[in-house]
C-alpha cells in the first residue's frame, strides 16, 4: 500500500500505474514519434504475463512425449479444450488450424494477465532497494487498463475483417453484410447498421473485460482501504473485511478465467463469422 | 496500447513456433501411432479369425472324411459278410442236393439188386418146391406178377 495508510485512495492506484516507472533512479520514459513508449507498470505486467506464459508453455512443450505424464496430460487437456472446445466449437473446421494460435494466445495472455493481477508483486523493488523503503506489495491487472483491452479488441476487429475479405473476396465480403433478400431501399441503411454493430463489437469486447477487471480490483482496494480506515475503530471489523477481501479475490480468480474465455470465444465467433458468412 | 500489441504479437509468434507447433505435432504423432496400433491389432485379429475359420473348416473336413471312411468300411464289411454267407449257403445247399441225389441213386440201385436177388431166390425156392413143374419162363412171369404187387416205390421212399 502507499506510504501513508490514512490517505489511501483506490483511484490513485490506477493512475499511478500509468506513470513511467523508474529503475535505479532512471525513469523509463520513451517516445517514438507520436507514440508514448514509456515503460510503466502496465507494460511491466504485460511483459511478466508474456514471459510466464512463454516459459511455462515452451518448457511443457519441450518435454512433451508421445506417452505423456500427468503434467503433460493436464497441459494437453487445456490445449485440446482451447482447440476443440473453444476454437473448434465456433469456427469452421477449415479455419481452426489457422486461427487456433491467435485465439489460444489471446486466451492465455488475458488469463495470465488477469491472474497475475491478483498477486501482490513488489514492483517498487525495481527502483528502490529494501534498505531505503519497505517494498510495496501491489496488485494490478494490465487488463484493468482500457488501453490494453482496446488494443486487443482492435486486433480482433482488424483480423476479423482481413480474414473475411481474404476468404470471401473484398466485394463479396461487404455485400454479405446485407441480407440478399432485403428490399433494395433498405440495403444502404442495413449496411450502415451492420457497420455500426461491427464497431460496437470493439467497444463491447474491450469494455467488458476492462470493466470486469477494474471493478474487481476496485472492490479489493476498497475493502483494503476500509480496513485501514476502520481498523482504528475495531479490530474485529478489520478481520471481517479481510475475509471479504479473500472472498472477492477467490471470486476474481473465477472472473479472470471467465473473462479470458469470453474474450477469446467472442473473437473466435467474430472471425469465424467473417470467414463463413451467412448469406 | 503499442506495448500491448508488441507484447502480444511477440508472444503469439513465440508460442506458435515453440509451443503450439510441437504440441500439435506430438498429438498428431500420437494419433497416428494409435491409429497404426489399432490398424495392426485389427489386422492381427482378422488374420486370427481367418486362421480359426480355416482350422474349423479343416477339422470339419477331417471329421467328414473319417465318417465317410467308417461308412465305407461298414458297407464293405456288410457286403463281404453277405457274400460269405451266401456262398456258404449255396455250398451247403449244393452239398445237400448232391447227398440227396447220391442217396436216391444208391437206393434205386439197392432196390434193383434186391429185386433181382428176390427173383433169383424165388425161382430157386420155387424150383425146389415144384421140381421143374414149371419152366423157367413161366417162373419168371409168376415172380414178376408177385413182385408187381409189392410197392417198391414205397420201399424206396422209406429207404431214403
Q: Where are the domains of chain B?
A: 19-159
Q: Which residue has the higher pLDDT, A14 or A153?
A: A153
For the cut 50, the answer to whether the pLDDT of residue B160 exceeds it is yes
List CB contacts of A29: < 8 A, sequence separation 6 or more.
A20, A38
| Res A26 pLDDT > 60 | yes
Residue B157: band (very low, low, confident or very high) from pLDDT cuts 50, 70, 90: low
With pLDDT > 90 as the criterion, what percentage of chain B qualifies? 49
B147-151: long-range pairs with CB below 8 Å, 24+: B147/B115, B147/B118, B147/B119
Q: pTM score, two decimals? A: 0.68
Q: What pLDDT is attached to residue A129?
A: 59
Which residues in chain A touch residue B15, judged by CB atoms under 8 angstroms apart? 53-54, 57-58, 101, 104-105, 108
Residue A6 has pLDDT above 90, yes or no: no
**Is B27 buried (19+), middle (13-18) or exposed (0-12) by CB count in 10 A?**
middle
B147 at interface of A, judged by CB pairs closer than 8 A = no
Please report the pLDDT score of residue A132 as a whole number.
65
Task: Tell me the chain B residues in contact with residue A76 when contact means C-beta distances shorter than 8 Å.
Answer: 23, 27
B26: chain A residues, CB-CB within 8 Å: 61, 64-66
The residues, ordered by sequence, that sit 6+ positions from B10 with a Cβ below 8 Å of its Cβ are A50
Grade residue A2 by pLDDT with cuts at 50, 70 and 90. Answer: very low
- B91/B103 Cα distance (integer angstroms): 18
Contact criterion met (CB < 8 Å) for B27 and A80: yes
- Asked if A193 has any chain B CB less than 8 Å from its own CB, the reply is no
Q: How far is A17 from chain B (nearest CA, A)?
A: 14
Grid coordinates standing for A119?
A: 498477486
What mean pLDDT is reported for chain B?
Answer: 86
Q: Is the pLDDT of residue B1 over 80?
A: no
A:B CB pairs within 8 Å: 87
Backbone angle region of B132, left / alpha / beta, with phi > 0 → left and psi within -120 to 50 → alpha: left
Q: pLDDT tens across A66-120, in order? A: 777 888 888 888 888 888 888 888 888 887 888 888 888 889 999 999 998 888 8
pLDDT at B71: 95
Find residues 47-106 of chain A whose CB sits inside 8 Å of chain B: 47, 50, 53-54, 57-58, 60-62, 64-66, 75-76, 79-80, 100-102, 104-106
Helix (H, G, I), strand (E, B) or coil at A22: strand
Among A70-74, A163-167, B133-137, which is the least confidently predicted range? Answer: B133-137
Question: What distance in Å separates residue A158's CA from the closest CA in chain B?
Answer: 13
How high is the pLDDT of residue B27? 81
Task: Indicate whether B133 pLDDT > 80.
Answer: no
Mean pLDDT of B112-123: 86
| B37 and chain A in contact, CB less than 8 A | no
pLDDT of residue A1: 39
What is residue B13's predicted lDDT score, i.e. its pLDDT?
A: 83
Amino acid at each position: 500500500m502507499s506510504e501513508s495508510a490514512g490517505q489511501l485512495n483506490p483511484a490513485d492506484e490506477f493512475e499511478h500505474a500509468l506513470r513511467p516507472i523508474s529503475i535505479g533512479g532512471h525513469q523509463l520514459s520513451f517516445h517514438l514519434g507520436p507514440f508514448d513508449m514509456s515503460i510503466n507498470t502496465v507494460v511491466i505486467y504485460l511483459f511478466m504475463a508474456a514471459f510466464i506464459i512463454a516459459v511455462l508453455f515452451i518448457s511443457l512443450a519441450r518435454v512433451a512425449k508421445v506417452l505423456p505424464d500427468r503434467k503433460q496430460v493436464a497441459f494437453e487437456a487445456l490445449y485440446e479444450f482451447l482447440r476443440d472446445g473453444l476454437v473448434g466449437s465456433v469456427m469452421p473446421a477449415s479455419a481452426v488450424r489457422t486461427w487456433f494460435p491467435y485465439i489460444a494466445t489471446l486466451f492465455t495472455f488475458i488469463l495470465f494477465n488477469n491472474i497475475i493481477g491478483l498477486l501482490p508483486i513488489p514492483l517498487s523493488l525495481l527502483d528502490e532497494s529494501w534498505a531505503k523503503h519497505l517494498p510495496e506489495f501491489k496488485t494490478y491487472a494490465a487488463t484493468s487498463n482500457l488501453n490494453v483491452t482496446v488494443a486487443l479488441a482492435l486486433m480482433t476487429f482488424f483480423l476479423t475483417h482481413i480474414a473475411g475479405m481474404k476468404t470471401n473476396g473484398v466485394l463479396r465480403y461487404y455485400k454479405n453484410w446485407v441480407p440478399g433478400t432485403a428490399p433494395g431501399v433498405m440495403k444502404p441503411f442495413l449496411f450502415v447498421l451492420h457497420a455500426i454493430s461491427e464497431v460496437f463489437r470493439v467497444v463491447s469486447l474491450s469494455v467488458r473485460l476492462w470493466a470486469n477487471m477494474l471493478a474487481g480490483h476496485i472492490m479489493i482496494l476498497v475493502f483494503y482501504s476500509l480496513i485501514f480506515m476502520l481498523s482504528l475503530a475495531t479490530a474485529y471489523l478489520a478481520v471481517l473485511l479481510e475475509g471479504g477481501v479473500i472472498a472477492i479475490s477467490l471470486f476474481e480468480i473465477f472472473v479472470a478465467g471467465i473473462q479470458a474465455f469470453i474474450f477469446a470465444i467472442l473473437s473466435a465467433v467474430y472471425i469465424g463469422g467473417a470467414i463463413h458468412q451467412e448469406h | 496500447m503499442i506495448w500491448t500489441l508488441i507484447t502480444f504479437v511477440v508472444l503469439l509468434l513465440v508460442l506458435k513456433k515453440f509451443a503450439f507447433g510441437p504440441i500439435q505435432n506430438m498429438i498428431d504423432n500420437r494419433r497416428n501411432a494409435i491409429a497404426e496400433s489399432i490398424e495392426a491389432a485389427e489386422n492381427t485379429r482378422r488374420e486370427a479369425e481367418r486362421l480359426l475359420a480355416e482350422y474349423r473348416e479343416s477339422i470339419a473336413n477331417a471329421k467328414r472324411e473319417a465318417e465317410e471312411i467308417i461308412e465305407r468300411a461298414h458297407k464293405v464289411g456288410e457286403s463281404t459278410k453277405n457274400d460269405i454267407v451266401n456262398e456258404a449257403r449255396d455250398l451247403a445247399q449244393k452239398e445237400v442236393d448232391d447227398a440227396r441225389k447220391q442217396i436216391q441213386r444208391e437206393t434205386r440201385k439197392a432196390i434193383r439188386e434186391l429185386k433181382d436177388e428176390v427173383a433169383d431166390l424165388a425161382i430157386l425156392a420155387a424150383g425146389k418146391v415144384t421140381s421143374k413143374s414149371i419152366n423157367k419162363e413161366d417162373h419168371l412171369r409168376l415172380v414178376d406178377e408177385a413182385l408187381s404187387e409189392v410197392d417198391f416205390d414205397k420201399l424206396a421212399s422209406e429207404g431214403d
